[in-house]
Amino acid sequence: MSHPQAASSPDAEHSFEQIRRLLIVLSSSIFIFTIAAVSWSVYRDYKDTLNGSEKEILTMARAIDEHLSRSMENSLQGLYKIQNDDIFQSCLAAKNEPCLYAFLNRQLSQYPQLSTFAAADSQGNITASTLQHPAPEHNISQSLSFSAPKMQPQARFYIAEQQADPSGNLDIIPLVRPLIDKQGQFNGVLIAGINPSYFERFYSSLSQRKGIVIRLFRDDGISLASFPHNDSDVGRDISGKQFFGDHFARKESGLFTEHSQVEQMTRIFGWRYLEQWHLGISVGIDKDEALRSWKNESLLNGGITFLMLLFGALLLVYVFRQLSRLEKTEADLYLTKVAVEHGADMAIWLDALGRIRYVNATACTRLGYSESELLAMQLRDINPTFNPDYWLQFWQKLKTHQHLRDEISLKARNGSSIPTEINSNFIVFKKLEFNCAVVRDISERRLAELAIIKSEQQLRLALEASNTGLFDMQITGDQTAITSPEYDRLLGLKPGDESFKKWQAQVHPDDKEQSLAHFQQYLKGEAPQLISEYRRKTQSGEYRWFQSRGKFVAFDSSGKPTRIIGTMTDITERKEAQERIVELANFDSVTGLANRNLLRDELRLALASAERNQQNLAVFFLDLDRFKTINDSLGHAAGDAVLAQVANRFKKLISPGDILARLGGDEFVIVLTNISHSLIAGSIAEAILASFAKPFELEAGHFSTSTSIGISIYPEDGTTADDLIRNADVAMFQAKAQGRSNFQYFTPEMNARASERLELETSMRTALLNNEFILYYQPQLSLKDGTIIGAEALIRWNHPKQGLISPTKFIPIAEESRLIIPIGNWVLHEACRQAAAWQSKGLAPINMAVNLSPHQLHQANFLEIISSALNDAALDARHLELEVTESVIMQEVKQVMSTLHGIKQLGVKLSLDDFGTGYSSLSYLKQFAFNKLKIDQSFVRDACSNNNDAAIVLAIIGLGQTLGMDVLAEGVETREQLAFLKQTQTASIQGFLFSKPVTAAAFEEMLISNKKLAL
């Protein structure tokens, strides 16, 4: 097989481009021609339809002309006949009204177009009428139907405008003929009343078209009758119309167009001039109605044309796509040929006899032969181990499997041996069988394999020296893990004994939760790899410390990890050393209590928690009285024994969450981490003092002592650890100054503050009855458009003497005294009432958020109270949102869960307030199904400057979105905080950046003005 030449791609590209241009030109020409042909057809149909309609109305005008002429001629002949009748003349001369009445009635029946005959004498008095007998006393001398014939007695007739018959109630068109006596003098008029409805019946029979208008008018422009009948048109002067002045009376007939502003319609009129009767008629049809068939046909043709063009466009797109595919295939073939020729691998084609039929340039370069030389060779010439018998077996196997892989060595021209990997592919081309072999030089791979073997040996020695084992473990099911010998040695296992289930079972119970948390952190991408330290039971039953490092390497279809590979190192000795170092650095060697260093760290944490949860904290500074006497008289060993016993007594008197430390010498510090008020600290202090009543037991006998206690309260007496310890120390010296064995608060004003609290509690009991409480409302805003979507109701106490009292001052007292229950219920009712009041004024509904106290949730009838508040205010439950704190859901979970589920069933929303400041369980968070999480302002305040707070905010937002909850950030005060929250896709905010809590009236003004936050 000859060496293929590389195809030239530019020629193919030029050819395809020419085809595209030709297709575009042809398609554009067809498109333009089609549009032009359809447009011409539409225009021609338009003209034909319009001409047909014009011919139709002219034909109708001619028919009306003929009918009108016959009717007028017949009517005029009737007047002639009556005028010349002898009976009529004799009755007229005798002024015999009965005779005239009878004669005229007989004549009237012969003329269906007439509705009356009447006669008037020369003075204009009605002498006879077919409509009334005797004739009415009526004079028509002032009307044109009398004065015109009198002025021109020689005229054949006069047609007056449509009017009521003077002797009856019928509308007629008077056809008047003057009466001349034998002396040639004017003797009165004879009137034939033409019935307009006679013509209207005829007009209605001419055409069934909608919107047709027929008008009868005199040549002076006065309209006599119209069809359909139109009172405003009868008697109207149309001489001012353009067609009347330009063409009427000059031509026999014509056309004109007229637009009606009243009907909002354009009509095409055809007119005719009846010269012998001095009349004109016009027939008009609705232009839109006349062109309706043309429009429908045009739409149909347009639609068909559009579909044809669309189909053509789609066909063109399809052709272009096929051209692109062909062009890409052409380019791919070109690139493939180039890649094969100059690729990194050798390409060698062999036939069934082992002859070389094709080689690429790479094969020529690697083997050191020219193309012609290789094409004259067989495989045996470049494969020293070639076996003809094996070749026949190989060829049959290749035909069966189509693809085979093998490794052989090829000999180059210079005699060197090249290790290769051959991928053989069986193909049939033009009925000839070929082996298209891709031959890869694996010399470097062989060297790398040797290097790997050497590295593995070195690694095995290093792992054994560092107490590190390797594992490859399935974490689903109970499959056996693959472990290294060192791994099995560290745990005392036999090969094949390890599994993930066994690992879980043998991890120390205290470390299991933390280890699983490390798994979750790595899975969420919060750590670059799994790193976990834990204790695990070995085969001997001993717990030892291990550190595991690893990465997930396999996942199932849902993205959950299924396999982990890593290392495990025994770190027991390191852990024991660390624990000893920590113990020496942070604990007192005599009592085992925290020392000064650890106290400061734990107190700082306790202060941060107290700040987040808005709790009080008490610091006791204790100093043993006369302790120096023990050391001086009994020695330091006895002193240490007393200190150890004092520490044990203190431990029994404080709660598990409190802090106990020895500062040095005979000084101790106790931190009560959660007290509702400062008086509780006094109770604990009294218990401590009482515990010293029992003597301490020493080897030398019993020994009694006492202690002096100084107390400082957070936050009243300080907000830092150093301030609180120092202030408690000052108070301790005051206690010693007052006789020892007592306790003193840091400041004497503490008693005054206690009195103030008692006074506030007393006043609070009457404040609700005296309507001293008011609600302020702080807006909650959407970060999508900056609009107000809710309000948080916040209570204020307008004390009659002290003025406006902050809730931080009286709410804790209300909680302790349980007055929070009636106050909280009042807030709930008032907030619902206000929300409903705003809605009744037509303002958009918003969420009304109300804070709940734990005491309220423990009311047996709390659900009834909520229903009552909603019903009394007529407020939809979905507009009420009740806020609870994390600490609430952790207390008496079953009862709280029952109440919160009841609230949800009412349709009321639930939000979790100050989220992140407590210790709520995520399982509880899921069970209670809150609608909203509110990020505490302590995190929002420093989110832009503190990476930890920013991370907490992001975690809370992610948690809320994952659980399908809205997230609201509290305490937003700066534009930087707003920008950060917008970037994190927080749903809503509230804070001083937009508005402080305001009165109901001020909040209502915000709603009315649609005040928004500028985003």
Q: Based on the structure, what is the number of domains in the chain?
A: 5
How far apart, in whole angstroms, are the C-alpha atoms of residue 545 and residue 541? 13
Q: Bigger pLDDT: 138 or 876?
A: 876
Give the residue-averaged pLDDT of 258-286. 84
Is 136 part of a structural domain of the chain?
no
The dihedrals phi and psi of 558, each to the nearest 5 degrees, come to -90, 0
Task: Give the containing element (helix H, strand E) for 256.
Answer: strand 253-260
Q: What is the CATH number of the domain that holds 618?
A: 3.30.70.270
Tell me what pLDDT residue 711 has: 92
pLDDT digits (tens, 9 = 90+) for 484-523: 888 888 888 888 888 888 888 889 998 888 888 888 888 7
Q: Within a 10 A sphere around the Cβ of 927, how many other Cβ atoms?
A: 14
Q: Bigger pLDDT: 867 or 574?
A: 867
Tell me what pLDDT residue 749 has: 59
**Lowest-confidence region among 57-61, 67-71, 575-579, 690-694:** 575-579
Q: Which residues pair with 404 in a beta bridge?
A: 424
| Percent helix, strand and coil across the chain, each to the nearest 5 | 50, 25, 25
The sign of the dihedral angle between the CA atoms of 224, 226, 231, 232 is negative
Give the residue-averaged pLDDT of 558-582. 81
Is 358 part of a structural domain of the chain?
yes
Q: Which residues pair with 851 in a beta bridge?
A: 883
Q: Are 181 and 187 in contact (CB under 8 A)?
A: yes
CA angle 370/373/376 to nearest 5° reads 150
Tell me what pLDDT residue 780 has: 94
What is the pLDDT confidence band of residue 466, given thresholds at 50, 70 and 90?
A: low
Q: Is 442 exposed, middle or buried (0-12, 13-18, 19+ CB in 10 A)?
A: middle
Is 109 part of a structural domain of the chain?
no
Domain shared by 696 and 606, yes or no:
yes
Q: Bigger pLDDT: 583 or 574?
A: 574
What is the pLDDT confidence band of residue 470, given thresholds at 50, 70 and 90?
A: confident
Domain shared by 768 and 649, yes or no:
no
3-class state of residue 303 by DSSP: helix
**Lowest-confidence region among 75-84, 177-186, 746-755:** 746-755
Tell me what pLDDT residue 847 has: 95
- Percentage of the chain surpassing pLDDT 90? 17
Q: Within a 10 A sphere around the Cβ of 775, how many other Cβ atoms?
A: 20
Q: Which residues pair with 427 in a beta bridge?
A: 434
**Look-up: residue for tokens 């002498």?**
127
Q: Bigger pLDDT: 753 or 925?
A: 925
Tell me what pLDDT residue 712 has: 92
Distance of CA 411 to the CA centre of its chain: 69
What is the pLDDT confidence band of residue 852, given thresholds at 50, 70 and 90?
A: very high
How far apart, in whole angstroms, are the C-alpha atoms of residue 848 and residue 832? 7
Q: Are 279 and 157 in contact (CB under 8 A)?
A: no
HSE (CB half, 13 Å, CA atoms) of 44? 6
Is 185 part of a structural domain of the chain?
no
Is 36 part of a structural domain of the chain?
no
How far apart, in whole angstroms, are the C-alpha atoms of residue 57 and residue 932? 76
Q: Which residues pair with 607 in a beta bridge?
A: none
Last residue of a domain, one of 375, 408, 442: 442
Q: How does the average pLDDT of the chain come out, rounded?
A: 84
Tell me what pLDDT residue 2 has: 43
Q: Which residues pair with 213 in a beta bridge?
A: 284
Is 471 part of a structural domain of the chain?
yes
How far apart, in whole angstroms, are the C-alpha atoms of residue 308 and residue 311? 5
Is 960 part of a structural domain of the chain?
no
Domain shared by 570 and 592, yes or no:
no
**End-to-end Cα, the chain, rounded Å:** 74
Domain shared by 544 and 602, yes or no:
no
Tell me what pLDDT residue 976 has: 92
pLDDT digits (tens, 9 = 90+) for 688-697: 999 988 888 8
pLDDT digits (tens, 9 = 90+) for 654-710: 888 899 999 888 899 999 988 888 788 888 999 999 998 888 888 777 788 889 999
What is the pLDDT confidence band of residue 464, given thresholds at 50, 70 and 90?
A: low
Q: Are 493 and 474 in contact (CB under 8 A)?
A: no
How far apart, in whole angstroms, are the C-alpha atoms of residue 743 and residue 388? 108
Domain shared by 765 and 742, yes or no:
no
**Lowest-confidence region among 326-335, 485-494, 562-571:** 326-335
pLDDT digits (tens, 9 = 90+) for 403-437: 988 888 888 888 888 888 888 898 888 888 888 88
Domain shared by 664 and 765, yes or no:
no
Q: Which residues pair with 129 in a beta bridge?
A: 118
**Lowest-confidence region among 77-81, 693-697, 732-736:** 732-736
Instruction: Give which of 106, 121, 110 is closest to 178, Cα–Cα.
Output: 121
How far apart, in whole angstroms, are the C-alpha atoms of residue 239 and residue 395? 110
Last residue of a domain, one of 578, 599, 614: 578
| Burial annotation 598-622 (CB, 10 A radius, 16+ → b, else e) | bbbebbeebbebbebbebbbbbbbb
997: left (phi over 0), alpha (psi -120 to 50) or beta: beta
Q: Which amino acid appears at position 380 of this protein?
A: R
Provide CB contacts within 8 A for 562, sequence distance 6+.
474, 475, 476, 554, 555, 556
How far apart, in whole angstroms, are the C-alpha atoms of residue 704 and residue 639? 12
Give the residue-averaged pLDDT of 210-219. 83
How far apart, in whole angstroms, are the C-alpha atoms of residue 267 and residue 226? 15
Last residue of a domain, one of 396, 413, 442: 442
Residues of the domain holding 541:
458-578
What is the pLDDT confidence band of residue 891, given thresholds at 50, 70 and 90?
A: low
Q: Are 192 and 159 in contact (CB under 8 A)?
A: no
Domain shared by 926 and 781, yes or no:
yes
Domain shared by 570 and 596, yes or no:
no
Q: Which amino acid appears at position 133 of this protein?
A: H
Q: Which amino acid appears at position 72 of this protein?
A: M
Is 821 part of a structural domain of the chain?
yes
Record the pTM: 0.36
Domain shared by 731 and 771, yes or no:
no
**Lowest-confidence region among 166-170, 284-288, 558-562, 977-981:** 166-170
Tell me what pLDDT residue 750 has: 47
What is the pLDDT confidence band of residue 839, given thresholds at 50, 70 and 90?
A: very high
Domain shared by 831 and 695, yes or no:
no
Q: Bigger pLDDT: 791 or 738?
A: 791
Domain shared by 864 and 1004, yes or no:
yes
Give the residue-averaged pLDDT of 133-151. 84
Q: What is the CATH number of the domain that holds 537?
A: 3.30.450.20
Domain shared by 545 and 603, yes or no:
no
**Look-up: residue for tokens 């834990």?**
534
* 752 has pLDDT over 70: no
Tokens read off for 5: 């030449």
